[in-house]
């Protein structure tokens, strides 16, 4: 059995990358607080059962990460049920509503920002408040994207939110370092998850002209993928592995970083 390493809260953990991170941290020895939207209860309970089978404690704290009071209650609930908080993984995010600048609506822009940017801010804020009060340091980790490293064709709002996560991560790292709290982000390339497959299928069905309804986007995306040096379809476990390291004691000297996990799509 893994040695107990602390308590980790992962948002958006009913499926995909969040689920992979939760299971990996449980295997590493963390007790786990699982979060997703309230309508994902069945999926969350399934992940909880898997974590319990690994010998770790687990609780479910449903919440909409874009809602201030719900995020506060989510973090408070995890602390109350499991006895503290050592790692916050602000993983929850959406792609729906992203698209071309000229055709994007204000409503779509506000929706995607409310989840991807405001949601990450709220998770960072309330997790940090508990970690500072506990006085034992901590790890805060957010979800950026390759689309937060360079503008990604036909993802106007989505790219903007992922650049926002990078800026927020750097500022939080500056403020929280004196408390022994590191703040970092991961930037996935294309990862095979239910959300990414759903987004791709919807974009293909919008028109016969190509991905995202724009033949130029199709050409651009094809050229980007064609130049990735590691020919591997990204999996949630690939992201979970970097989160595992960032959550560890060994990563104490890494903060304010946004680490690409994309097979070499974006090099810096």
DSSP string, 6-40: EEEEESS-SSHHHHHHHHHHHHHTEEEEE---GGG
Question: Cα-flanking dihedrals φ and ψ of residue 4, to 5°?
Answer: -60, 130
Spacing of C-alpha 28 from chain mean position: 19
* Active-site option among 162, 186, 245, 249: 162
Does residue 162 carry a catalytic annotation?
Answer: yes
Of 253, 258, 226, 231, nearest to 242 by C-alpha is 258
Q: Report CA dihedral (100, 115, 35, 173) to the nearest 10 degrees.
A: 110
Catalytic residue (one of 158, 178, 204, 231): 158
φ, ψ for residue 186 (rounded to 5)?
-115, 145
Q: Based on the residue annotation, tell me whether 225 is a catalytic residue of this protein.
A: no
Q: Which residues are catalytic?
A: 158, 162
């Amino acid at each position: 059995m893994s040695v107990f390493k602390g308590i980790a809260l992962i948002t958006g953990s009913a499926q995909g990358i969040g689920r992979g991170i939760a299971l990996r941290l449980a295997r590493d020895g963390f007790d786990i607080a699982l979060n997703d939207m309230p309508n994902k209860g069945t999926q969350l309970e399934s992940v909880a059962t898997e974590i319990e089978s690994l010998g770790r404690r687990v609780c479910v704290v449903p919440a909409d990460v874009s809602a201030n009071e719900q995020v506060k209650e989510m973090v408070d609930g995890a602390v109350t049920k499991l006895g503290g908080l050592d790692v916050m993984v602000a993983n929850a995010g959406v792609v729906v509503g992203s698209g071309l600048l000229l055709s994007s609506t204000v409503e779509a822009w506000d929706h995607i920002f409310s989840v991807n940017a405001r949601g990450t801010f709220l998770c960072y804020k309330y997790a940090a408040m508990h970690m500072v009060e506990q006085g034992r340091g901590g790890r805060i980790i957010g979800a950026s994207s390759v689309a937060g490293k360079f503008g990604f064709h036909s993802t106007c709002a989505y790219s903007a939110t992922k650049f926002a996560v990078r800026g927020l991560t750097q500022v939080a790292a500056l403020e929280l370092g004196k408390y022994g709290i590191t703040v970092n982000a991961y930037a996935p390339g294309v990862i095979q998850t239910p959300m990414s497959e759903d987004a791709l299928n919807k974009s293909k069905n919008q028109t016969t002209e190509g991905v995202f309804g724009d033949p130029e986007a199709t050409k651009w995306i094809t050229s980007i993928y064609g130049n990735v040096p590691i020919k591997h379809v990204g999996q949630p476990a690939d992201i979970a592995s970097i989160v595992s390291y960032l959550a560890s004691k060994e990563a104490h000297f890494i903060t304010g970083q946004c680490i690409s996990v994309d097979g070499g799509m974006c090099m810096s």
